[in-house]
Amino acid sequence: MSTSKSRWADDDPETEALLAQRKREKEEKRRAKAEKQRQLEEQVKARESLAAQSRSGDTVNGDSDAPPKKRRRLSNEPQEPSSHVEDGQKQIKSSLLQFPVLEWGPCRHVDNFERLNHIEEGSYGWVSRAKDITTGEVVALKKLKMDNSPDGFPVTGLREIQTLLEARHTNIVYLREVVMGNKMNDVYLVMDFLEHDLKTLLDDMREPFLPSETKTLLLQITAGLDFLHSQWIMHRDLKTSNLLMSNRGEIKIADFGMARYYGDPPPKLTQLVVTLWYRSPELLLGAETYGPEIDMWSIGCIFGDS
């Protein structure tokens, strides 16, 4: 009587063949690994030998660790090719972070602009429409108010210039340049000209904006404000008269005289900011610290006006 063979038996020919194949594969991997290690060791020895030959050559030529003396090169002497060290330095320099080179020079005079008509006068200066005589472009020319302050240039003017230079966004008014008048306190900001401000436009409109138009306007305003807050800048004076609008429906945030940088935690700041009807409750209650949420409250008030 024949007994059935167990499938787990050790003398299964298929199992023995599989084990032999795995053993051969392991041996091949060990040989390949050993060969790779041998090649790496040969490369290291070759580099060490080359370095030793280079040092011995320098010793024969009389070179030392001291820097070589400069030798005067004659005009008819061919220029030596760059060494590997110089190539490495060039590669390192090319990989470094590059910043744009700022050009410093005198400001242009305000006489380069022809004043066309007066637009408005605010707390921090008056604005007029002007034309660049050189290019013929129509721009907005804003003269900063100095008020004959003994402290020199007003801080509000410096803040506005600094903020406008850093806040480059489609929905923020673009500062082109700063020009000077005949006196040191005659400072003008040259900005893009937009035909309307939202307050005057709302007052003159016979019918209010359509819901779709209101959404488009708010989308542009919040896009510009989001960029300001991403740069840690609070506007602190958002209202309809500080929102400029072109004939194509483009909205740009303007008038950065009250703008301030903030941090986390926010610094102590004055509560006397933002026009009363656009002022947030915490400002009305005398909060000494606040953040970008006061701008968001003003956006809600602007939405109610439009």
Could you give the angle at which helices 211-230 and 293-305 cross, rounded to 10 degrees? 160
DSSP letter for 285, please: T
Tokens 């030798």 correspond to 71
| Residue 268, helix vs strand vs coil | strand
- Active-site residue among 197, 237, 255, 295? 237
On whether the CB atoms of residues 50 and 42 are closer than 8 A, the answer is no
Active site residue 58: no
134: tokens are 């050189």
On whether the CB atoms of residues 191 and 175 are closer than 8 A, the answer is yes
DSSP letter for 168, please: -
Buried b (16+ CB within 10 A) or exposed e, 77-116: eeeeeeeeeeeeeeeeeeeeeeeeeeeeeeebebeebeee
Q: Which residues are catalytic?
A: 237
